[in-house]
Amino acid sequence: MAATKYEVRPGVYYDSVVLMQLQKSLAEMPGVIDAGVVMATPANRELLESADFDLSGIAAKADDLLIVVKGVDETAAAAAVEQVDDLLKRRSAKNAGDFCPHSLAGALDYLPQSQWVLISVPGRFAAGVAGEALDLNQHVFLYSDNVPLKDEIALKHKAREKGLLVMGPDCGTAIINGIGLGFANRVRRGSIGLVAASGTGLQAVSAGIHNLGGGISQAIGTGGRDLKRDVGGVTTLQALDLLRRDGETGVIVLISKPMDPAIAPAIIDAAQNCGKPVVFNLIGYPPPGRQIDNLFFASTLSEAAVLATELSGQRLTPGQANEFESRPVKRGYLRGLFSGGTLAYEALLGLQTFLTPIYSNIPLRPEQKLSDSMTSQAHTILDLGEDEFTQGRLHPMIDNDLRLRRLRQEAADPEVGLIVLDIVLGEGAHPDPASELAPAIAEISNNSDIAVIAIVLGTDEDPQGVGGQIEKLERAGAVVKRDVSQSVAEINRRMKVPYQYEFVPVSTDGLGEGLAAVNVGLESFYDSLKAQGAQAVHVDWRPPAGGKEDLMAILARMKNL
């Protein structure tokens, strides 16, 4: 008889990649039906319970590590839990050869030429680490999410006064001097500079430019909230000014999810005065025209890539698009399961014109707000990279577990006729996402008349191998498209629904060749930097005072004495 065993480790910290690998190892053990290894936040407990884990009687706080194993019997479940320490020791032994200082200051003593600090620690600690990095005159790539808005505002104002950049929070992608930070596709160098309040939007355009024969000078992420009224576009304005002065950048592309109308005039004014062509792709913001002076407006991410490449004067060499035969779709609702927030926004923007009613956890209009993100209704587009899904667990670009569970949940709904999902390749992403997603897609294709559309975002130089990924997905029965606009057109065809400032300038000295950076958080980001030839050092970070809020406050006061 199936049995569940659990273990709670109070205040224990491991980065999300370690937790993912531990969960995967436990799930693969003999006699194990399923396993969960997460920080015990309310959202994570709810997700485990929705996966049929019985958590009744388990007392755990949000900063505790919760390990739950469901086995075919009590012996199998207990045996798996007993292996946890051994599995963790194996990973520690694997990484024992690298020097990992215990502080940011120690890392900079070891790598004094560093100009960047990559931060991917849990959100409630991230602002403190970022503030320390700015005090040490480092630019910040802040991947961490769940950072309070007031902390973001304070960090960006501090950075602006020092002539430094804070990319983030929740900044997933950047390319500096040809080195990808976070989730970044491998693209050639060139004369097109990108500024993006969107990680997957930046990836879509940079990959599109590469596939058209163009190249990237610099790609600067800002974090998704930068163009909100309270933040004021601080990093966006800094980045536009930096690329204006960068001699290697000839064309600038600005990509964003919906920005606050109060911020738009300042951004457009800065772009008009930069003296270079600027391509705008502001999803959800009505463009004033196709072109005004040096400003060009694209309606889709793929169009932004084409415009930028044309303006850069580089020859367009797009590959021949592959068209795949597809069967008629079952009459039913559409469900979109996206790892990329901007891709989800673009899909929602395109689909809302002909699908109704349509709901989302990232609605463009109030009436589109999904009442419960754990349960779809009618046509639904989900951004699974939102805070509600990622708090205390790994981003879906790295870990497919959450999306696989949701994929099966949607396929079991008799009202569903079509499922669309994105597969985002590149540095930092899952090394072989198709190997995990394709079997689930094949199961749906073989056992139902639900159609699956897979949007594959990547280049021929990405470590996952874009051709092999597409082949696996097509073999499983998916219809593969290379961007959101293609998938929206395919969905439309199938569904046939008849509805229609002032600041200290950031120095350009750091732009050119090579990159030296300190990584605090996800070890996979450090591994990615080293694989690309960057100079890097990884900090063996642990939450201050064991994560205890009262002791942390005392330490902070002592530091300021």
Instruction: Give the HSE-up count for residue 395: Cα atoms under 13 Å, Cβ half-sphere.
Output: 29
The DSSP element (H or E) to which 383 belongs, if any, is strand 379-383
Instruction: Give the max Cα distance, the chain.
Output: 72
For tokens 């002065």, name the residue: 245
Q: How far apart are CA 432 and CA 37, in angstroms?
A: 21
State the angle between helix axes of 523-531 and 16-27 in degrees (0 to 180), rounded to the nearest 10. Answer: 100
pLDDT of residue 286: 63
Beta bridge partners of 282: 256
Q: How far apart are CA 355 and CA 348, in angstroms?
A: 9
Same fold flag, 3-94 and 170-318:
no
Give me the CATH code for the 3-94 domain, please. 3.30.1360
Q: Is 181 exposed, middle or buried (0-12, 13-18, 19+ CB in 10 A)?
A: buried
pLDDT of residue 6: 83
458 is written with which tokens? Answer: 């990547």
Q: Is 484 exposed, middle or buried (0-12, 13-18, 19+ CB in 10 A)?
A: buried
3-state secondary structure of 62: coil
CA angle 246, 224, 230 (to 5 degrees): 95
CA 430 to chain centre: 11
| In the chain, where the domains are located | 3-94, 170-318, 333-495
3-state secondary structure of 424: strand
Q: Which of 522, 519, 525 has the alpha carbon at shortest distance from 539?
A: 519
pLDDT of residue 277: 95
The DSSP element (H or E) to which 538 belongs, if any, is strand 535-539
Q: Which of 221, 208, 174, 193 has the alpha carbon at shortest distance from 427?
A: 174
CATH class of the structural domain 170-318: alpha beta
pLDDT along the chain (561 residues), means of 10: 83 75 86 86 84 82 84 86 79 59 92 96 91 97 94 97 96 95 95 94 96 96 94 96 95 90 82 91 73 86 95 55 42 91 89 84 91 94 91 86 93 94 94 95 93 95 95 96 87 60 86 94 92 94 66 56 51
**What residue type is assigned to position 185 of the chain?**
N
Sheet holding 535-539, edge to edge: 166-167, 139-142, 116-119, 516-520, 535-539
Q: How far apart are CA 298 and CA 291, in angstroms?
A: 9
Q: Which of 471, 473, 430 has the alpha carbon at shortest distance from 454?
A: 473
DSSP letter (8 states) at residue 258: S
Do the Cβ atoms of 38 and 394 come closer than 8 Å?
A: no
pLDDT of residue 485: 83
In DSSP notation, 331-355 reads SSEEEEEES-HHHHHHHHHHHTTT-
Q: What is the per-residue burial (b if ≥16 Cβ within 10 Å, else e) of 323-334?
A: eeeeeebbebbb
Do the Cβ atoms of 349 and 258 come closer than 8 Å?
A: no
CA angle 446, 450, 27 (to 5 degrees): 60
**What residue type is assigned to position 401 of the chain?**
D
Q: How far apart are CA 136 and CA 109, in angstroms?
A: 11
CATH class of the structural domain 333-495: alpha beta
**Residues listed for the chain:** 561
Nearest 10 degrees: CA dihedral of 13, 17, 22, 23?
110
Residue 351: φ, ψ to 5°: -80, -25
Based on C-alpha coordinates, what's the Rg of the chain? Answer: 23
pLDDT of residue 258: 77
